[in-house]
Structure 1
């Protein structure tokens, strides 16, 4: 079977930027990573991870390109087949490329179809929009609140004389 995905760049512009891809269900997440990076014009040399997601696009379990965990227990893309994490009941993934720039993509299984004889997979079906030169800036919840003040308690952390703390506590 063939999985057809829509991969949407998370951006705050008015322009929709997405790619429609098709890939064999038995291919790995690393294969999906490769076609996503190629279809958006990245060289694929940066760190990346997929995250399982629910219908509200909440980030779940991480599946990474390389194991950087201390105990070697990370779930890896090259060991994870698409059909083991994506199916009719679980259709959404979040993909983050380049952890310094945080290119973030919403990956959704749109359709499952029969393999077409004579077609090569993975396959880029459709392109919409131009990728910006830099990753869209991420706004965090605290940044979105106009009244957020990280110093709202009124403490001056440079005024050591008036802080209630004993420097010889030990």
Structure 2
């Protein structure tokens, strides 16, 4: 059997993708398909999240085993490569978040559109529908947005240089 996922972006209004992937594949396989389709840099961190129908995060599926333990092991993060889609997807319209920009918490919204039979001659996983440009993988920080580091360094520029401080200190003695 094959799952058909629809992916939408909260950042790009006209972006949509449909992915078909075998129920035997893992979340890691789906991650690789998305990365390849959107030309994302595979060295960046990403996670899937099981979510409820209101998009509230329930459980995280990570690229690597983070060795984290939770009070309830049912809540501990699970590596993507050990979770098959048939273990995870239990109903039509089930939802997942694919967080591709961990630091800015930017994600694709995935929903299962259908669970169908394998089509003869089709090599899965596959992109079956593509509309619009994908979101940027890493959000560009505009000049208006500044980091804490930039703010601190700007304040630091107001201090006298070490040489100026040192010369004045010597004169005072």
* RMSD over equivalenced CA pairs, Å: 2.2
TM-score with structure 2 length normalisation? Answer: 0.70
Instruction: Report deviation, 1:99.
Output: 1.5
- CA distance in 2 between counterparts of 1:34 and 1:130 reads 18
In the alignment, does 2:51 pair up with 1:53? yes
SS at match of 1:31: helix
- Aligned with 1:110: secondary structure? strand
Greater Cα shift, 63-72 or 18-27:
63-72
- What residue is the counterpart of 2:7 in the other structure? 7
SS state of the match for residue 38, structure 1?
helix
In structure 1, the partner of 2:103 is 100
Please name the residue that 1:91 is paired with.
Answer: 94
Deviant stretches of 4+, over 3 Å: 69-74, 132-137
Relative to the length of structure 1, the TM-score reads 0.71
| Pairing 1:59-138 to 2, within 5 Å after superposition | 59-70=57-68, 74-88=77-91, 91-133=94-136
- Provide structure 1 residue ranges, at least 5 long, that are not aligned to the other structure: 138-170
Contact 1:94 1:105 in 2 (8 A): yes
Distance 2:104 2:92 in 1: 31
